[in-house]
Structure 1
Amino acid sequence: MAMPLPVPESVLSEGLPDREGASVRETFELFSAVAPKGWRVELIEGEIYVVPPANGEHEEIVSELNGQVRDHDKGVGRYTGVGLVLPGATETVRVIPDLVIAPKGSFDDQQEWHAPDPVLLVAEVTSTSTAGRDRVQKIRAYARAGIPLYLLIDREAGEAVVCSEPSGDDYSHKSIHKLGTQVPLPTPLGFTLDTAAF
C-alpha cells in the first residue's frame, strides 16, 4: 500500500515544477527530493512507495539483528538507510532495506544509490504497510540482483524466513522458523541467529 507523502512547507510555498507527463523515474526522484527526513521512497516494479518512519518495535528488531551480526563478525559493515539499485523485470528497482550486510567500506562514497555487488545479506522487518512487498516483490528484486541471503522477519506471521541460493526471480532455498527460536544463517554469514528478543 502506498503511503501519502507530506510535502514540506518550502515546496508548498515555492510550488513544484510542471510534472505533467513525467516518467515514473522522474516522479520517484521528485518524491525522494521532498520526502521528510526518516521517510523512505522506493521504486519497485514500476510503483513508487513512500514509507513513514518505523515504529519502536521494528527498530528494536533491526538493532538486535545489527548487534548479533557485529558480535559474529566485526569485519562486516552493518548498514541501515543504504539505497540499492537492483535490476528489475522491466526497469530499475530502487530500495532501501532495513539492514544491509556487506564488507566494511563497501559504500564509502558520496553516492545515494549503490550496486548490490558487495552485499552479503539484506534484511527486512515487516510493518503493516510493507509486509506484502517484503514477502513478494522484494524477494524477486533481491534474487534477481544475486544477493546471497535475504532475511525476512515477518512480525505479522511470527516467522523468520531465510532465503538463500538466488536463481532468476526467486531463491532456490527458503527455510521458515518461528520467532523466538534459533535461526541458522547459511554462508556467507554462517552463524545462528537468536530470535528470542524478537
Structure 2
Amino acid sequence: MVERPQMLVEEFEHLARHSGETVTLEFLYGKLGVKAVPDGDHCEIVRWIARQLLPLRGEFWLYQEIDLKVERYRNGRARADGVLAPDGSFTGQGNWVDPAPILLVVEVTSYDRDTDRRDRVEKPAACAEAGIPVYLLIDRDSGESVVFSHPDDGVYTSTNRYRFGKTVELPDPVGVSFDTEPLQGWVR
C-alpha cells in the first residue's frame, strides 16, 4: 500500500507563501515540517562559514536562506541555511530553486524538537537524492561538523565528523578546508 503524502507540493507551496515571517515551513518526504527562525548564533555561524569559503572559492557565492526543490523527483521543499553555488545560479527562478548548480548545502542545527529528524536525517537524505555533492551540518548539540559527501544513487556514501576546534575537510567539488575553533563560541 502506497502512503499518500500529507498534502500535494502545490498545496504546500501555497501555504508556505502565506505563512508569514515567524516560522519557516518545509515539506520533506510528504510531511509538513516547521523550522525554527534562526537565532543570533545561528546567523553568526552561517556568516562565518561564508567568510571561510568565499576567499578560497571566489567564483562562488554562499547564498543564505534558499528554498530548494529536493528529493529524487524534486517533490520535497527545504530551506537551506546556506548554499554554495556559482554567481547568478538562481536568476529567473521562482521561490523554489533547482539544486543542480549547488556544490554545498550548509545547515546549522536549531534548538528545537525536530532538528534531529530534519537536519540530521531527512535533509541530508533529500539533498543526496537531489545530487548535491556536499552537505555540511554544523551540529551545535554534539559540538561537531559533519560532512556528508559523494552522493551515489540518492545516498551520501561518505560521512566524516570533526569536533569543533578541528580542521574540516570539504571534498571536491568544494575542495577547501578550514579550522572550526571559532564555532565553539556559538553553542549553548
TM-score by length of 2: 0.86
**Contact conserved, 1:160 with 1:178, CA < 8 A, in 2?**
yes
Match of 1:71 in 2: 55
2:13 & 2:104 partners in 1: Cα distance? 26
Match of 1:99 in 2: 82
Cα displacement (A) at 1:26? 4.5
1:87 & 1:35 partners in 2: Cα distance? 23
TM-score by length of 1: 0.82
Match of 1:19 in 2: none
Range 107-116 or range 133-142, more displaced: 107-116
The number of residues matched between the two structures is 176
Instruction: Find the residue that maps to 2:80 and give its secondary structure.
Output: coil
Point out where structure 1 has 5 or more consecutive residues left out of the alignment: 1-21
Query: For residues 83-109 of structure 1, what are the alpha-carbon distances to aligned partners after superposition, in whole Å with 9 as ceiling and x for unaligned?
Result: 1112347x7111110010011110122
Cα displacement (A) at 1:38? 5.9
1:31 & 1:24 partners in 2: Cα distance? 11
Letter of the structure 2 residue corresponding to residue 76 of structure 1 = F
Match of 1:182 in 2: 167
Structure with max Cα Rg? 1
2:100 & 2:69 partners in 1: Cα distance? 10
Instruction: Within 5 Å, give how 1:38-187 maps onto structure 2.
Output: 39-88=23-72, 92-129=75-112, 130-187=115-172
Cα displacement (A) at 1:24? 3.7
**Contact conserved, 2:36 with 2:110, CA < 8 A, in 1?**
no
Instruction: Find the residue that maps to 1:94 and give its secondary structure.
Output: strand
Instruction: Find the residue that maps to 2:132 and give its secondary structure.
Output: coil
**Contact conserved, 2:168 with 2:178, CA < 8 A, in 1?**
yes
CA RMSD in angstroms, aligned pairs only: 1.8
Instruction: Find the residue that maps to 2:182 and give its secondary structure.
Output: coil
% identical equivalent positions: 38
**Contact conserved, 1:125 with 1:155, CA < 8 A, in 2?**
yes
Cα displacement (A) at 1:31? 2.4
Letter of the structure 2 residue corresponding to residue 85 of structure 1 = K
Query: For residues 115-166 of structure 1, what are the alpha-carbon distances to aligned partners after superposition, in whole Å with 9 as ceiling and x for unaligned?
Result: 1110000010011222321111111101111111010111101111111110
Instruction: Give runs of ≥4 in structure 1 deviating > 6 Å.
Output: none
